[in-house]
């Protein structure tokens, strides 16, 4: 690849792309909601939400000064992020709290990029983020999940035309916005049955003294706010 080609690629990444038609935005939103609500589809797609969840833990652990030891993603769509540092304090609280809001917050960031017509930039940022996570994955299934997800994103960004890129980007962002809510509702259902004693909200209750139920409510408020705001950006409301 020569210098001129690299310049062309860079200009495409940082440049803006045409706004897609309204029907495509609505259709991808409906499909994303279906993928979240229909149980068989959710069982397959939930792994994407888990990648975002564990990525949130990892990012905040590093940002708060903790040492990231590794990430594991499992075939049952569960995950684990291990970091080293003080077992208490602000860094530990922020790291523990970062997981459940992460898919929605990532979706909100993606919605802003789409609102500003940076479709290609969104795809390349996604590929870069997945590559960064791959370095810290410590099990084969987790590595495979990231390679497949990143490979699909790269293939769309490199080989697909503008229409396919737009459809893929909008579907992915809608999915993150919707998918951020369901795991929290599922978690609260498990907590009511006493089946999730070591959940993130329960760990946060032990770290802060704030009841786990309030942490669940906070996570729901964040994800609902992201869905409302990000959905408005995707629909180009206010323009």
What is the C-alpha to C-alpha distance for residues 161 and 120, in angstroms, rounded to an integer?
A: 11
Mean pLDDT of the chain: 93
Banded pLDDT at 237 (limits 50, 70, 90): confident
- Region label for 67, one of left (φ > 0), alpha (ψ between -120 and 50) or beta (otherwise): beta
Q: Which residue has the tokens 């440049």?
A: 15
Phi, psi of 115 (to 5 degrees): -60, -35
| Percent of the residues in the chain that have a pLDDT greater than 70, as a whole number | 93
| Percent of the residues in the chain that have a pLDDT greater than 90, as a whole number | 87
pLDDT at 1 over 60: no
What is the separation, in whole angstroms, between the first and last Cα of the chain? 39
Cβ neighbours for 73, distance < 8 A, ≥ 6 positions apart? 47, 50, 51, 54, 79, 137, 139, 141, 142, 145, 146
Question: What is the DSSP annotation of 66-129?
Answer: PEEEEEEE-TTS-EEEEEES-SSSHHHHHHHHTTTTHHHHHHHHHHHHHHTT-HHHHHHHHHHH
pLDDT confidence of residue 4: 53
User: Taken in order 97, 40, 45, 115, is the CA torsion positive or negative?
Assistant: negative
> In 3D, which of 161, 159, 155 has the Cα closest to residue 126?
155
pLDDT at 211 over 90: yes
Please give the structure tokens belonging to residue 166: 């737009």
Banded pLDDT at 18 (limits 50, 70, 90): confident
What mean pLDDT is predicted for residues 20-29?
Answer: 96
pLDDT at 2 over 60: no
Please give the structure tokens belonging to residue 116: 């500003």
Cβ neighbours for 78, distance < 8 A, ≥ 6 positions apart? 50
pLDDT confidence of residue 171: 98
pLDDT confidence of residue 61: 96
pLDDT in tens, 115-161: 999 999 999 999 999 999 999 999 999 999 999 999 999 999 999 99
Banded pLDDT at 8 (limits 50, 70, 90): low
pLDDT in tens, 78-119: 999 999 998 899 999 999 999 999 999 999 999 999 999 999
The whole-model pTM stands at 0.94
Phi, psi of 180 (to 5 degrees): -65, -25
Phi, psi of 195 (to 5 degrees): -105, 5
Banded pLDDT at 39 (limits 50, 70, 90): very high
Banded pLDDT at 45 (limits 50, 70, 90): very high
Banded pLDDT at 16 (limits 50, 70, 90): confident
> In 3D, which of 171, 193, 227, 162 has the Cα closest to residue 41?
171
């Amino acid at each position: 690849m020569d210098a001129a080609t690299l310049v062309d690629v860079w200009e495409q990444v940082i440049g803006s792309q045409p706004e897609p038609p309204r029907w495509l935005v609505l259709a991808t939103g409906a499909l994303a909601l279906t993928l979240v609500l229909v149980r068989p589809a959710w069982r397959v797609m939930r792994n994407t939400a888990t990648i975002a969840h564990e990525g949130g833990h990892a990012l905040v652990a590093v940002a708060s000064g903790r040492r990231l030891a590794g990430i594991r993603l499992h075939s049952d769509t569960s995950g684990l992020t291990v970091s080293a540092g003080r077992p208490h304090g602000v860094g530990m609280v922020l790291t523990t709290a970062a997981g459940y809001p992460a898919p929605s917050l990532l979706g909100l960031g993606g919605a802003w990029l789409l609102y500003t017509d940076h479709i290609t930039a969104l795809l390349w940022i996604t590929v870069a983020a997945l590559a960064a996570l791959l370095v810290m994955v410590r099990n084969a299934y987790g590595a495979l999940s990231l390679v497949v997800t990143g490979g699909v994103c790269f293939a769309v960004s490199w080989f697909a035309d503008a229409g396919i890129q737009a459809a893929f980007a909008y579907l992915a962002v809608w999915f993150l916005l919707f998918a951020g809510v369901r795991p929290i509702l599922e978690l609260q259902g498990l907590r009511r049955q006493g089946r999730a004693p070591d959940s993130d909200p329960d760990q946060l209750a032990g770290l802060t003294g704030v009841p786990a139920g309030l942490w669940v409510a906070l996570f729901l408020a964040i994800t609902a706010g992201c869905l409302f705001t990000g959905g408005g950006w995707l629909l180009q409301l206010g323009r």
